[in-house]
Amino acid sequence: MHSPVRLVAIDMDGTLLPTFTQGISERNAQALQAARQAGITVAIATGRRTAFTTPLLDGLNLPADTPLITSNGAVTRTLGGEAIDRCRMESRVARGLCGLLRKYGELVFTFDRPGRGALVVEDLSKAYAQIARWVEANRDAIEEVKPLEDALKDGEDPIQGMVAGGVRKMRKAEKVLSDSPWSGEFECIRTEYPARDLSILDLLPPGVSKGRALMRLAERLGVDRAEVMAIGDNWNDVDMLEWAGQGVLMGNAVPELRTMAKLQGWEQAPCNDDDGVAVVLEEAMKRRASVAEKTSIE
C-alpha cells in the first residue's frame, strides 16, 4: 500500500501536455487544482527552461510558490520567481563540447538570464532546419554567436547545452561524448521521439538531473521519499521515476521504457492524449481521502 502522496513532480511534454499541443487539457488542469486543494504540492519537472515553461501554466491559478524544476534539473524556482536551486556547467567544459559535437548537429547553450542571449547558437538557419518549432517558440531569446566558443566566457557559465537530430545520429553523438576526455565533467541526458525521428541530448553540470533536483526539493519541503510521486514519459524522466517512492510512466512512452516500468514496479498511466496525469492524480486523491477517513475513524 502506497503512502499518501504529499509531493508530485510532473513532466510537461508527452506527459501533462497533449501531443503537438501547447495547452493543458481541462481535465488535467482541474486535477492539478484538486490535488493542490487536497494538500499535495504540485511541482513541474521539465527539460524546458523556466521562461519556456511558465506561459504554459497561465490561467491555471497555481500559487506563486509552485515549484518549477526546469532545464532537466539545472534550475529550480517557484512560479513566482523565487530562486530555490541552480547549477552551472563550467564554460571551459562547454567550449570543449563544441568541438566534439559540431558535426552531429547545431549546439545550443542556455544561460539563466532574461531576454535575448538566454539561448545562444552558432548558426540559426541550421538550428531552424533541425528544430524549427523550438526556434519559432524561442526566437526572441536566441542570439547567434560565431564561433560559439566566444559566447562561453569563463565566469559566464551556461546552465545547459543541447544538441538535437535524428535518433541514430544522436546515439552516435552520445557514444562520442561518453568516450571523450570530458565525460566526467558533465551529464548527458537523452530525450527521444522515435515517431518524429528526433532525439535531444541535454548536456548538464555534473550530478544534475530531474531526480536529483526532486530529491533536494523533497528535503527542503520535509517530504519523505515514500510520499513523493513522479510522472513522466521519456528517458530524461527515468532517474526521477527511480528516486520517487511512487513512479508513474505514461502509456505513450516507448516500448523500452514500458518494459523498464514493469521491471521497476512503476505504475503505468493512460496516454498523455487521454489525460493520463488526471487519471493518476484522481486515484491518488481517492487513496489519500481513504487514508484520512480511516485515520479519523480510528
* Count of the separate structural domains present in the chain: 2
The residue range of the domain holding 218 is: 7-86+208-297
pTM score, whole prediction: 0.92
At 31-50, the pLDDT tens digits run 999 999 999 999 999 999 99
Q: Are residues 193 and 243 in the same domain?
A: no
Rounded Cα gap, residues 266 and 195, in angstroms: 24
Report if residue 160 sits inside a domain: yes
Q: Which of 169, 204, 239 finishes a domain?
A: 204
Residue 292 predicted with pLDDT over 70: no
Pairing of strands 228-232, 7-10: parallel
Q: Is the pLDDT of residue 289 over 80?
A: no
Instruction: Report the candidate in 31, 138, 23, 148 with the shortest Cα–Cα distance to residue 94.
Output: 148
Are residues 65 and 107 located together in one domain of the fold?
A: no
The verdict on residue 138 lying in a domain is yes
* Residue 243 predicted with pLDDT over 70: yes
Domain boundary among 159, 188, 204: 204
CA 112 vs. chain centroid, Å, equals 16
- Write the CATH number for 183: 3.30.1240.10
* Residue 1 domain flag: no
pLDDT band at 130 (very low <50, low <70, confident <90, very high): confident
Domain finish residue from 157, 174, 204: 204
Residue 202, judged by CB atoms within 10 A of its CB (0-12, 13-18, 19+), counts as buried
Which among 215, 221, 243, 231 has a CA at the least distance from the CA of 271?
231
Q: Are residues 165 and 214 in the same domain?
A: no
Residue 2 lies in a domain: no
What letter represents residue 75's amino acid? V
What is the CATH number for 28? Answer: 3.40.50.1000
Structural domain contains residue 213: yes
268 lies in the same domain as 198: no
Written as nine digits, the cell of 264 is 521497476
